Amino acid sequence: MLTWEDALLGFMAHLKLEKSLSDNSVQAYRRDLFKLQQWALGNEIFQPTRIDKKQLQDFSAHIADTGVKATTQARVLSGVRAFFRYLALDDQIEQSPADFLVFPKTGRTLPAVLSPDEIDAMIGSFDRSTFEGERNVAMFETIYSCGLRVSELVNLGLTQIHRNEGYIQVIGKGNKERLVPISERALKHIFLFVEHYRNGITVESKHRNTVFLSAKGRGLSRQMVFFLMRKSAMAAGISKTISPHTFRHSFATHLIEAGADLRAVQEMLGHESITTTEIYTHLDRGYLAKTLESFHPRSK
């Protein structure tokens, strides 16, 4: 008899070993599927292999009744569908009962975007005469120059920076590697920090290759980067809700607004699907009008 606990442990191992998902992503799936497990046990469904389409529809209605956002409902149901597809792949069930689940319409929320002046103001809020200040300038220049995820930023290694060639090797989701060009300005600040500050501290052995460290030689957490960005936004007088992803959004938006090819931006961001990148095409009407006027045959 396959219990919920055994099935979920197998699914977590599948996500980590077969799908190469990060620990954070695996735990996010676990938290969402715990909702299904608790609901099922409360309805005396003690084996995941016994659940059917009607019961999953009831669970979907239960999630909606809790009042969570449509995006949260969609995320939970996406995890449920992945779980039952895993059971089918593992020959625990013949067919997934979750394939016909109806997902709530979530729409697309446009991410906050910073202007180049706002980014300059945030970077200019740091005192570059200090270890932390020069490091923060280098980090912010790097994440904006390359459109990195915060996890990619804090895990960036010295050996991943190819200064003469002008690019960095980025290890993204699923341990997939991509090459991203990096600006001269970002490179300048990285090596100012490394040569003037980083090389003068004692570094923990596991972080010898890590670029951005604390003054105690330890790696930085994602939460610390969040904190530093919000602090610098306040210092710059910016009222928008800022996160490291805001810099990534701004990187992509500024490129597309300047006429960059969407496929090139997709490659630099490390998106598997072009549809994910398309969210950054929320360009202003003036830019769209100019594009139409310049390129459409009827506008000649």
Q: In the annotation, is 245 catalytic? A: yes
> Which of 19, 75, 222, 245 is the catalytic position?
245
Report how far residue 112's alpha carbon sits from residue 152's, in angstroms, rounded to the nearest whole number. Answer: 20
- Identity of residue 17: L
> Which of 198, 248, 249, 254 is the catalytic position?
248
> Which of 14, 135, 149, 249 is the catalytic position?
149
Q: In the annotation, is 85 catalytic? A: no
> Which of 173, 207, 222, 231 is the catalytic position?
173
Report how far residue 26's alpha carbon sits from residue 45's, in angstroms, rounded to the nearest whole number. Answer: 24
Whether the CB-CB separation of 236 and 118 falls below 8 Å is answered with: yes
List Cβ neighbours of 7 (8 Å cut-off, separation of 6 or more): 48, 49, 83, 87, 92
Q: In the annotation, is 218 catalytic? A: no
Give the single-character DSSP code of 69: -
Report how far residue 7's alpha carbon sits from residue 29's, in angstroms, rounded to the nearest whole number. Answer: 13
Six-digit token string for 140:
């912010």
In whole angstroms, how far apart are CA 298 and each of 15, 289, 293, 294, 295? Answer: 51, 13, 8, 10, 9
Q: In the annotation, is 285 catalytic? A: no
Report how far residue 86's alpha carbon sits from residue 13's, in angstroms, rounded to the nearest whole number. Answer: 11
Mark residue 259 as left, alpha or beta (left: phi above 0; alpha: psi -120 to 50; beta: remaining).
left
Report how far residue 22's alpha carbon sits from residue 156's, in angstroms, rounded to the nearest whole number. Answer: 16
SS3 245: helix
Q: In the annotation, is 280 catalytic? A: yes
Which residues are catalytic, by number? Answer: 149, 173, 245, 248, 271, 280
